[in-house]
Amino acid sequence: NAGVMQNPRHLVRRRGQEARLRCSPMKGHSHVYWYRQLPEEGLKFMVYLQKENIIDESGMPKERFSAEFPKEGPSILRIQQVVRGDSAAYFCASSGGQQINTEAFFGQGTRLTVV
């Protein structure tokens, strides 16, 4: 049973370009979380999605950032017109449901560098 798969592992974008980060949850998991981690800092919650639904996007910047989790295929975190401050590690986690006693499993992350 494969774990949470994120790709690419490393992504370099020039300022103004778009970044698309993909996350395939563990088999059987229907809930996905996205977090951002700056160097030597903690994880900041961005968005919580269920298949075809955004459950909580309170951590998403109001502009340039969007996320989706379609019925088929991976979850996508999209950053438009990237700026240097978007450089960070972006982690995806998945869980089997909304049950609060279930832990989330993390992917290896995508390290975005904006040059």
Partner 1 sequence: AQSVAQPEDQVNVAEGNPLTVKCTYSVSGNPYLFWYVQYPNRGLQFLLKYITGDNLVKGSYGFEAEFNKSQTSFHLKKPSALVSDSALYFCAVRVYSSASKIIFGSGTRLSIRP
- Closest approach, Cβ 12 to partner 1, in A, equals 16
Residue found by looking up tokens 């160097």 in the block: 39
Q: Which is nearer to partner 1, 76 or 89 (CB)?
A: 89
* Sites of contact with partner 1 (CB under 8 A): 4, 6, 33, 35, 41-43, 45, 48, 55-56, 58, 91, 93, 98, 100-101, 103-109
- Closest approach, Cβ 5 to partner 1, in A, equals 11
Residue found by looking up tokens 């395939």 in the block: 24
Q: Which is nearer to partner 1, 4 or 114 (CB)?
A: 4
- Closest approach, Cβ 81 to partner 1, in A, equals 26
Q: Which is nearer to partner 1, 33 or 69 (CB)?
A: 33
Q: Which is nearer to partner 1, 43 or 76 (CB)?
A: 43
Contacts of residue 87, defined as CB under 8 A and 6 or more positions apart, other chains included, come to 112, 113, 114
Contacts of residue 73, defined as CB under 8 A and 6 or more positions apart, other chains included, come to none
DSSP 91-115: EEEEESSS-TTPPPEE---EEEEE-
- Closest approach, Cβ 27 to partner 1, in A, equals 17
Tokens representing residue 50 in the block = 């269920």
Residue found by looking up tokens 């499993």 in the block: 105
